Amino acid sequence: MATFTNPIANIRAFNRFYTDIIGLLDRHLLHSRYSLAEARIIYEISVGENLQASQIMTAMHIDKSYLSRLLKKLEKEGLIIKKPSEQDARAMFISLTAKGLREFNILNKASDEQISAMTTGLKASDQQQLVNHMNAIMNILTKTAII
Amino acid sequence: MATFTNPIANIRAFNRFYTDIIGLLDRHLLHSRYSLAEARIIYEISVGENLQASQIMTAMHIDKSYLSRLLKKLEKEGLIIKKPSEQDARAMFISLTAKGLREFNILNKASDEQISAMTTGLKASDQQQLVNHMNAIMNILTKTAII
DNA sequence: AAATACAGTTGACAAAGTCAACTATATTTA
DNA sequence: TAAATATAGTTGACTTTGTCAACTGTATTT
């Protein structure tokens, strides 16, 4: 079994874990309708409410030109709307349309089903533990402003 | 703060965490020399010893045609060698060359430094906790044969 | 008022990944 | 044992994903 003895040696093992579990989901489930990046934009907006494009860019660590194209596509599909800021004519505020919100819920639901399918081997107690550990990691990282 | 209330809702939040922390590393550090996929192949071989291409394919959930090209590139760079199986003339056994092993160590060392740089804000106790939680997740997943 | 910085867009391109058809060997089945 | 089927890996043509540099238009600084 691969173990995380220290952060250094871990990185590849953890990456492997990630790719297998989360990546599997993203590739096989989401890619059929939206790219991972698109799904994440939708997620970011649903969490952040009325974000500026630049904020999404920072949050996702992606190139502004790439984000620009993705937003254009999502807008064309009617999932988001952009409205220019009144304070700063350069800035765009992005928000989900009703359709975008529905899609977000569908994505979440689909994730749900996929995860269930993948984790049927897990006892409920293990599932809970998994979630707890993920939460703990999130806590440590947000607490120290790494995320 | 984003929380993992259940596996379903989590998937996007966890993905965000992953993208930020691990993805940052992979994109900025590894991509300069090797793609994430290449780095992971090197990792898989260093762990698995004398794997068949098909095993790597299964482990990584990537397309065989893509893997084929990646292996070709790594072979051309002298990082791996392929030798045909004696039992099955169709199969290739892949192993790291001395150079490949050196590169693996360099990658690990580089990861190390990058992670240190990223986590200087973390107290030693938090770092340890982070590692412990990652380990716990790995344990649950391996125990139930999900990985 | 001129210089500089910032938000976002666009064109041209590079990297990553996929699909279908193929070669060559193995295994199954009739 | 010959024909059909399956498997391991390769290749050509392609799509998707992501990047770089140059640009427009607005805001801020000097």
Per-residue pLDDT tens over the stretch B83-136:
999 999 999 999 999 999 988 887 777 655 655 555 555 666 666 666 666 666
**For position A98, what pLDDT does the model report?**
95
Q: Average pLDDT for residues A55-82, to the nearest whole number?
A: 91
* Spatial CB neighbours of B6, under 8 Å, sequence gap ≥ 6: A131
Instruction: Answer whether A35 touches B (CB < 8 Å).
Output: no
pLDDT band at A131 (very low <50, low <70, confident <90, very high): low
pLDDT at B26 over 90: no
**For position A144, what pLDDT does the model report?**
47
pLDDT band at B62 (very low <50, low <70, confident <90, very high): confident
Q: Residue type for B110, please?
A: A
Residue pair A74/A41 in contact (Cβ under 8 Å)? The answer is yes
Among chain B residues, CA nearest to A134:
B4
List all residues of chain B from 48 to 87 with a beta carbon under 8 Å from chain A.
Answer: 59-61
A61-96: string of b/e by CB count within 10 Å (b at 16+)? ebeeeebeebbeebeeeebbeeeeeeeeeeebbbbb
**What domains can be seen in chain A, in order of their start residue?**
12-121 (1.10.10.10)
Reported as a single tens digit per residue, the pLDDT across A83-128 is 999 999 999 999 999 999 988 887 776 655 655 555 555 666 666 6
B104-126: string of b/e by CB count within 10 Å (b at 16+)? beebbebbbebbeeebeebeeeb
B12 touches strand C (CB under 7 A): no
Task: Say yes or no: ipTM exceeds 0.90.
Answer: no
**For position A83, what pLDDT does the model report?**
92
CB contact (8 A) between residue A136 and residue B137:
no
Q: Gap from A81 CA to C21 C1', in Å?
A: 44
The Cα of B105 is separated from the nearest Cα of chain A by a number of Å equal to 10
Nucleotides in chain C with any atom closer than 7 Å to protein CB: 6-12, 15-21, 24-27
Positions 40-69 of A with beta carbon below 7 A from strand C are: 52-54, 57, 64-65, 67-69
Contact list, B146 vs chain A (CB under 8 Å): 20-21, 118-119, 121-122
Structure tokens at B118: 């990223």
